[in-house]
Amino acid sequence: MSLSNNNNTTAIINPKPCNYNCGTRIYWNTSENAYFEVFAKKKHICPNRSKSNNNVVTQTTTNTKPSYYNKFAKQYQQQPKPKMSNSLELLSGPIEDIQKKYEILSDIVIDLGGKTHGSQSHIANNNSISLIVYFEIPEGKREEMKRKFDIHINTKLENRIQINK
């Protein structure tokens, strides 16, 4: 919005609502060094501002937010994020085994409150693959994760050996 003053020059104004919630749109007039009302074009004297000590007369407004706006805020405020520990696991073997190992690993990481971040793979000879899986878990849970993963892998290997006999 632009406004002409007495010198026939154009000044750019940026209207805003009054800070004291009186409902009047105001702008800063640099030549008068004061706030002016946009439509009345006169110096703004807010009725909500006390003249004696510049205290604000508060007006209550019912500015309710939609119910979906802060739906999960309480659970995040009550539960601070634990310190996380970054780690990786090297998975090697046939593609079918790597898929099963990856699923087991990601399930254990999620159960312990962590996240899997990514992986890098390398295809070797004989249809085998090496996969590096990067993840983060809460501090102090790394050994528990490794132990659970080893138990699952060793159990699967023992079952496969018994089936092959």
What residue segments make up the domains of the chain, in order of their start? 2-37, 84-164
The architecture that CATH gives domain 84-164 is: 2-Layer Sandwich (3.30)
What's the pTM value of the predicted model, to 2 decimals? 0.48
Q: Tens digits of per-residue pLDDT, 62-111?
A: 555 555 556 555 555 666 778 999 999 998 888 888 888 999 999 999 99
Give the contacts of 117 (CB within 8 A, at least 6 positions apart): 134, 135, 136
**What is the spatial distance between Cα 22 and Cα 59, in angstroms, rounded to a whole number?**
9
Q: Tens digits of per-residue pLDDT, 29-64?
A: 888 888 889 888 899 888 888 755 455 445 555 555
